[in-house]
Homo-oligomer: A and B are copies of this chain.
Amino acid sequence: MSLTITGATVRDIRFPTSRELDGSDAMNPDPDYSAVYVTLETDGELVGHGLTFTIGRGNDLCAKAVELLIPFVVGKSLDSIHRDMAGFWREITGDSQLRWVGPDKGIIHMATAAVVNAVWDLLAKQQQKPLWKLLVDMTPEELVGCIDFRYISDALSPEQATEILAKQQATRAQREAELLERGYPAYTTSAGWLGYSDEKLRQLCQASLEQGWSHFKVKVGQNVDDDVRRLRVIREEIGWERKLMLDANQVWDVDEAIEYIQQLAEFQPWWIEEPTSPDDILGHAAIARAIEPIGVATGEACQNRIIFKQLMQADAISFCQIDSCRMGGVNEVLAVILMAAKFGVPVCPHAGGVGLCEYVQHFAMFDYICVTGSFENRLVEYVDHLHEHFYHPVVMKDGRYMPPVSAGYSISMREESLDEFEYPTGPAWAN
């Protein structure tokens, strides 16, 4: 029984997080975590959900972009999409007129993610599996058939991708069982926002330690003296055995990054995240060479597979931080995960925001079971914001993500939350 997509709705949802300075960093002092929320209707009972994440203004632009992409899915049967996933993705990203205002980047690409992810949510629900399990039950050939290799074939061929997946195929079941029991490792960013006082920082570190966290990420970059003071507080609380990661959110130029990071080296950071513009591949490479053994991490603002390809070709990153909705949805993320495997770069997904933890956990499970079979240097970001708005929020156990069990991509939001936070008409925005 094939389903056909019959219609779609798009909603502009915003949470007034700036009122509490949750999520504040050197580049983003007052984000209102927001989502463009897409519902795909079908001729059956199933609906598919997808979202793209923004931090407030501009969410309406993404919503409008989604509306222009809806004609590429309405009227299509899920079977026809499923039969040629790469072709579907090429089509929705390839409309020549819309491509001009990208290509494959920015608002139009983030909108693509919402729609593409909603299609995957539908596919997973139709098969009554969580997304990670849907992927895990696909053959290497089927998985490779989801990827549009345009512009990355010089770094990864379909044959190489198939080979990477085939190597892990026989042992998938044992890793799946292991994950179901123990979960996937994570780290927390909840303690280290820039807007918090030292006292709040200290309390949050203590609370995080009690919850069993062993990896802590802290925002830096606004003022080196403040950062030194804050990092001292954090090291006092978490000790020197646990890992500490820094995140500059693109605030530095290349030379400035090198100089600044060297002043924080005494705190033995494991990685520095987003030291400069996400577009600066050669800049990241220069920083990476200069600050070894501190690793460079980036990805949450990396626009597409082509930038990730080059970051790996240039040996610019030690950690690949895929995001579920900055790139064009599941298909493109699969491409990056496989490139990372080929280049030997561990994938540590970006999460937080709204729904990103719910989203990216599926890729971590997939990576472990089907692609690399390794936890080494691999962690998923965890932030304890806004999970209450989802019907199937992430389940954490001892600082680890437990594999989702509900069918779909875990991104369906509660109807009452949608109504409350719809912008600008919802009660949360009234006054």
* Residues of chain A at the chain B interface (Cβ within 8 Å): 27-32, 54-58, 60-62, 64-65, 68, 95-110, 149-154, 250, 253-256, 276-283, 286, 301, 303-304, 306-307, 309-310, 313-314
Report yes or no: A253 in contact with B154, Cβ–Cβ below 8 A.
Answer: yes
Q: Distance in Å from the Cβ of A305 to the closest Cβ of chain B? A: 9
Residues in B whose Cβ lies below 8 Å from that of A95:
57
Report yes or no: A101 in contact with B279, Cβ–Cβ below 8 A.
Answer: no
Q: Which partner residue on chain B sits nearest A249 by CB separation? A: B96
Report yes or no: B101 in contact with A151, Cβ–Cβ below 8 A.
Answer: no
Report yes or no: B64 in contact with A283, Cβ–Cβ below 8 A.
Answer: no
Q: Which partner residue on chain B sits nearest A306 by CB separation? A: B279
Report yes or no: A277 in contact with B151, Cβ–Cβ below 8 A.
Answer: yes
Report yes or no: B283 in contact with A97, Cβ–Cβ below 8 A.
Answer: no
Report yes or no: B277 in contact with A101, Cβ–Cβ below 8 A.
Answer: no
Please tell me which one of the listed residues B100, B105, B149 contacts residue A28 in the complex, with CB atoms under 8 A apart. Answer: B100
Residues in B whose Cβ lies below 8 Å from that of A304:
279
Report yes or no: B98 in contact with A57, Cβ–Cβ below 8 A.
Answer: yes
Contacts beyond the supplied A54-B100, A61-B108, A106-B107: 17 A-B pairs with Cβ under 8 Å: A57-B97, A57-B98, A58-B65, A58-B100, A61-B61, A61-B101, A65-B107, A101-B106, A104-B277, A106-B109, A150-B253, A151-B283, A279-B306, A279-B307, A280-B309, A280-B310, A283-B306
Report yes or no: A56 in contact with B310, Cβ–Cβ below 8 A.
Answer: no
Q: Distance in Å from the Cβ of A177 to the closest Cβ of chain B? A: 39
Please tell me which one of the listed residues B56, B103, B105, B310 contacts residue A250 in the complex, with CB atoms under 8 A apart. Answer: B103
Report yes or no: A303 in contact with B107, Cβ–Cβ below 8 A.
Answer: no
Q: Distance in Å from the Cβ of A195 to the closest Cβ of chain B? A: 13
Q: Distance in Å from the Cβ of A247 to the closest Cβ of chain B? A: 15
Residues in B whose Cβ lies below 8 Å from that of A68:
57-58, 60-61
Residues in B whose Cβ lies below 8 Å from that of A100:
28, 31, 54-56, 58
Q: What's the Cα separation between A323 and B280 when bound, in Å? A: 20
